[in-house]
Amino acid sequence: MLSISHTLFSIFILRLLSLIFPLFFFFSFPNILISIISANFCDFDIFWLKKISTHHRLVFHLPLFYLVLFIGVSIITYPLTYYYIILLIFIQIFFHLFTDYVTGRTAGIYWFYPLLNKQYSLFAIKPRLGNYHPYIKNKGKMKKHFIFYFQNRLLVVFELFLCLLGIVAFFI
Ligand SMILES: [Zn+2]
């Protein structure tokens, strides 16, 4: 999913949490900032990836890695007063992985890696269209990738809807 969509959707998630658990999650500027950074953290692998199609196998997009990390951090920090921040960070990360699973076009999510070396996506993916490095003169390949990305109208509408939720979150 695009960074702007992850960003806006993370704001909606925070708003939702603040409505369901008003004592723990505040719709405040620091929490909005934490949400945005956490929701985009997985995509920092852009600095290490070799190809778009394989970047979901780097540690940044591995759910089992975050699960183990979450359990470890929870054991250490629970029930400290700032534990809700830890919770918020991991909730945003897991929503990132889930929305990447739904909207993945050239790479899925390796839900069980390293136990299972298999990627999953809601719609069929075309890894060959993401077979390029985003920094190195690949304008042609990038264009093809984006055309394919926006071909699935259902996903485009879904992603726009998530963005809209993020904007609406400021007014509810
Ligand atoms: Zn991602």
Which own/partner contact pairs does 79-87 have at CB distance under 8 Å and 24+ positions apart?
84/24, 84/25, 85/31, 85/34, 87/24
Quote the tokens at residue 9: 């959707």
Rounded to the nearest angstrom, the distance between the alpha carbon of 23 and the centre of ligand 1 is 30
Rounded to the nearest angstrom, the distance between the alpha carbon of 107 and the centre of ligand 1 is 9
Helix (H) or strand (E) holding 7: helix 3-20
Bridge partners (DSSP) of residue 34 are none
For residue 147, the enclosing domain spans 3-168
Q: How many domains does the chain have?
A: 1
Q: Which residue has the tokens 């999510």?
A: 109
Rounded to the nearest angstrom, the distance between the alpha carbon of 84 and the centre of ligand 1 is 23
The pLDDT assigned to 109 comes to: 95
Residue 23, burial from CB neighbour count under 10 angstroms (0-12, 13-18, 19+):
exposed
Nearby residues of 43 by Cβ (< 8 Å), 6 or more positions away: 3, 6, 60, 96
Amino acid at 12: F
The pLDDT assigned to 118 comes to: 94
The pLDDT assigned to 161 comes to: 97
Alpha carbons 112 and 86: distance in angstroms, whole number: 23
Using a cut of 0.85, tell me whether the model's pTM lies above it: yes
Rounded to the nearest angstrom, the distance between the alpha carbon of 96 and the centre of ligand 1 is 6
Could you state, in chain order, the average pLDDT of each consecutive group of 10 residues for the chain (172 residues)?
95 98 95 98 86 82 97 91 94 97 92 94 87 75 84 93 96 91
Contact between residue 99 and residue 92 where contact means Cβ atoms under 8 Å apart: no
Contact between residue 39 and residue 9 where contact means Cβ atoms under 8 Å apart: yes
Alpha carbons 157 and 55: distance in angstroms, whole number: 25
Rounded to the nearest angstrom, the distance between the alpha carbon of 18 and the centre of ligand 1 is 24
**ω into residue 127 within 30 of 0, thus cis?**
no
Rounded to the nearest angstrom, the distance between the alpha carbon of 11 and the centre of ligand 1 is 17
Rounded to the nearest angstrom, the distance between the alpha carbon of 95 and the centre of ligand 1 is 10
